[in-house]
Amino acid sequence: MYPFEIIKKYYSPDSKAFYFLICHGKMVAGKALAIARSVRRLGPDLKFIGEAAMLHDIGILVTDEPSLGCYGDKPYICHGYAGREILEKEGLPVHALVCERHVGAGISLADIREKNLPLPARDMIPVSIEERIICFADKFFSKDEEFLLKEKPLEKVRMGIAKFGQEQMERFEEWVKLFGR
């Protein structure tokens, strides 16, 4: 499976969105693979992590995020489940789950209902070790000029996660203990 070939089916290689998606994917993949190597005892699938990390944000194209060159009709929070739908159509159901479950530190069904989020009514929390590693690594990079190619400090990541509530913060802190910085 070649992530770049799948991405090129949906994004023009000369587009702003392609640039952000590829740069961000490479940074997340690099960190995720480094984490996976440091926790080999947990048996993470490195090949899968490399592929899924490159594809985890493929759903941004359906969002209304002009700063990324995306002119869809959905709020940005929808990019996870939109990515799942894209990758399921591509015959990659396990990679698709990474897309859906990487937003924040995962989103629970209770949060979706309580906050009236525009998401399908189901848990979207990372389950497998690979999903958790990619979700964790993703939090250290943003699709913006400051942190596109540079890792965020842990305290800045914590401040970002804290905005989403105690449940997400606790999950993230579990990952800090499991994966380190």
SS3 sequence of the chain: CCHHHHHHHHCCCCCHHHHHHHHHHHHHHHHHHHHHHHCHHHCCCHHHHHHHHHHCCHHHHHEEEHHHCEECCECHHHHHHHHHHHHHHCCCHHHHHHHHHCCECEECHHHHHHCCCCCCCCCECCCCHHHHHHHHHHCCCCCCCCCCCCCCCHHHHHHHHHCCCHHHHHHHHHHHHHHCC
The CATH number of the structural domain formed by 3-179 is 1.10.3210
> What's the pTM?
0.96
Instruction: Tell me the pLDDT tens digit for each residue of 99-113.
Output: 999 999 999 999 999
- Average pLDDT of the residues of the chain: 96
Instruction: Tell me the pLDDT tens digit for each residue of 138-167.
Output: 999 999 888 988 999 999 999 999 999 999
Residue 181: is its pLDDT beyond 70?
no
Instruction: Tell me the pLDDT tens digit for each residue of 110-145.
Output: 999 999 999 999 999 999 999 999 999 999 999 988
Residue 73: is its pLDDT beyond 90?
yes
Average pLDDT of the segment spanning 40-55: 98
